[in-house]
Structure 1
């Protein structure tokens, strides 16, 4: 797979997300990237939108924040384990559960185009494991 061509702002946003273990909001990204020349929220939102279209970032709906994608070719639905204590977000795939969920909603005549699951709890470090 070829690496997509990114603008300077897109690369800055992607690098910052990739360096973070937690999801970051657009405004947190803006605050962290002001020194690199990003000055307006629209710059960050445009970069996030383009990165999302390229499959390089995911939006964590429950946090209204973003994470870098760790697997660019998703063969199954994306899932995220979100630690409510430290904010760490771990991406995973779950093909078996995806089929079960599609089957259940399919019985109601619903056609699923995209599926993302967010699980909230405590990571191993915060839970003391």
Structure 2
């Protein structure tokens, strides 16, 4: 179920651009700081843009970090589920789609009659590079 999204507004484009360039998660305040020269003054401007970008499937919210990350899959709006492995040492965030886990979750929610709106799976730990160091 690919969502079509309208052309991004200037603010949405700027916020998405700063997240894409960051290559990792940013808090709304970090985005605000990065975009001050582009005319952003209020956190609300950033939050409004982020909310729409999340709706469009272009950005994911990482609850455990209270931060946002640009989607690394093109056409991710097709996945209702995003999964992230977050390294607690270097901060690396890897996005992946755990199909078997998603299938299990969909079965469970179906059996329970639970209407799922969004799923974000966050794994916390140490990445391979940090573990080897």
Q: Tell me the CA shift for residue 28 of structure 1.
A: 0.9
Q: TM-score if structure 2 supplies the norm length?
A: 0.84
Following the alignment from structure 1 to structure 2, what is the Cα–Cα distance between the partners of residues 24 and 87?
11
Q: Matches of residues 5-16 of structure 1 in structure 2 within 5 Å? A: 5-16=7-18
Q: Matches of residues 82-97 of structure 1 in structure 2 within 5 Å? A: 82-97=86-101
Q: Which residue of 2 aligns with 1:22?
A: 24
Aligned length: 129
Gaps of 5+ in 2: none
Q: Which residue of 2 aligns with 1:80?
A: 84
Following the alignment from structure 1 to structure 2, what is the Cα–Cα distance between the partners of residues 112 and 3?
21
| Larger proportion of helix | 2
In 2 relative to 1, CA 75–50 (structure 1 residues): closer, same or farther, beyond 3 Å?
closer
In 2 relative to 1, CA 92–34 (structure 1 residues): closer, same or farther, beyond 3 Å?
same
Aligned 8 A contact 1:76 1:93 in 2? no
Q: Matches of residues 1-129 of structure 1 in structure 2 within 5 Å? A: 4-71=6-73, 72-73=75-76, 74-75=78-79, 77-128=81-132
CA displacement, residues 50-74 of structure 1 (integer Å, 9 cap, x when unaligned): 1112111011111111000122233
In 2 relative to 1, CA 125–5 (structure 1 residues): closer, same or farther, beyond 3 Å?
same
RMSD: 2.2
Following the alignment from structure 1 to structure 2, what is the Cα–Cα distance between the partners of residues 51 and 123?
28
Following the alignment from structure 1 to structure 2, what is the Cα–Cα distance between the partners of residues 38 and 111?
37
